[in-house]
């Protein structure tokens, strides 16, 4: 494991902390380490949800480490920048706990997560155009889908900063909390996901991902095609019956993930 990446397992939650003073900037070795961490998370049957955060309270991540003297056109890892921005087939949900500024690739890392909890002083921005770059680790692709086009374009073209509260207003951020409550809030949200059926969670994530570009009718056609492995596994699982039995018996379900 890379010395700037800390990973701990708390029950079914994998907590990943980027810890590289002063700005938690990410270079290629860190991207590779984060990719390997996400693959281990995916393969760990005991892990249900991951939380990615940064150390300290000033920066979540400043993104690409400009001091590393690396060519930004190089491939960072099989999962893209920070190991996650191009890891499209990850079946388990990832939460981002944004503890400070999410800048450039740091913002792109947050955008690649499924849910975002932000400290109330956090900010999000993409300064690439101002330094002769393009936010092509997902920012230019994901941001216009996550925000109203005019807001996204202003951020992309001018480097405009978005506050945590504005992110919540526009639906980019799920929760905004005081800095001292950030990880508590992220863990509470993770526990809500863990209480749901694991195969249902994986199927939902798969369906959302694979139908994002489709019309509703085409989405139904894909569901019926038998081409979605997680949805197929869910639809023949014992957990469907367990969920119904638990509801009728007024008890908490016992999910087996099969």
pLDDT (tens digit per residue) in 210-225: 999 999 999 999 999 9
For 13, residues 6+ apart whose C-beta sits below 8 A from its C-beta are 47, 48, 49, 50, 51, 187, 190, 191, 194
* Residue 128 is a catalytic residue: yes
Question: How far apart (Å, rounded) are the C-alpha atoms in residues 190 and 193?
Answer: 5
Task: Please choose, from the candidates 160, 150, 158, the residue with its C-alpha nearest in 3D space to the C-alpha of residue 125.
Answer: 160
Mean pLDDT of 181-202: 97
Q: How confident is the model at residue 66 (pLDDT cuts 50, 70, 90)?
A: confident
Percent share of the chain, pLDDT over 90? 88
Is the model's pLDDT at 180 over the cut of 80? yes
Report the pLDDT averaged over residues 115-120: 98
| pLDDT score, position 76 | 80
Marked catalytic residue, from 128, 166, 206, 249: 128
Q: Is 1's pLDDT higher than 70?
A: yes
Is 42 assigned a catalytic role?
no
Structure letter (DSSP) for residue 83: G
What is the per-residue pLDDT for 210? 96
Q: What is the mean pLDDT of the chain?
A: 95
* 183-210 CB burial, b ≥16 within 10 A, e <16: bebbbebbeebbeebbbbbbbbbbbebb
pTM: 0.95
Catalytic-role residue among 40, 42, 70, 108: 108
């Amino acid at each position: 494991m890379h010395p700037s990446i800390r990973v701990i397992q708390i029950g079914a939650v994998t907590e990943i902390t980027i810890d590289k003073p002063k700005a938690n900037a990410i270079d290629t070795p860190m991207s590779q380490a984060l990719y390997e961490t996400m693959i281990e998370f995916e393969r760990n049957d005991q892990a249900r949800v991951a939380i990615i955060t940064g150390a300290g309270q000033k920066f979540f991540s400043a993104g690409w480490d400009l001091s590393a003297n690396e060519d930004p056109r190089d491939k960072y890892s099989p999962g893209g920048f920070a190991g996650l921005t191009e890891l499209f087939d990850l079946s388990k949900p990832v939460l981002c706990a944004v503890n400070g500024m999410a800048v450039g690739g740091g913002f792109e890392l947050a955008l690649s997560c499924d849910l975002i909890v932000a400290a109330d002083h956090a900010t999000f921005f993409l300064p690439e155009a101002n330094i002769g770059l393009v936010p092509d680790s997902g920012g230019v692709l994901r941001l216009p889908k996550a925000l109203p086009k005019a807001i996204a374009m202003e951020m992309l073209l001018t480097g405009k900063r978005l506050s945590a509260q504005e992110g919540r207003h526009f639906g980019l951020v799920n929760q905004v909390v005081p800095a001292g409550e950030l990880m508590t809030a992220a863990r509470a949200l993770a526990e809500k996901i863990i209480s749901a059926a694991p195969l249902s969670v994986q199927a939902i994530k798969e369906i959302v991902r694979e139908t994002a570009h489709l019309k509703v009718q085409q989405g139904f056609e894909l569901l019926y095609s038998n081409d979605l492995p997680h949805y197929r596994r869910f639809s023949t699982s014992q957990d469907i019956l367990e969920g119904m039995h638990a509801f009728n018996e007024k008890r908490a379900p016992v999910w087996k993930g099969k």
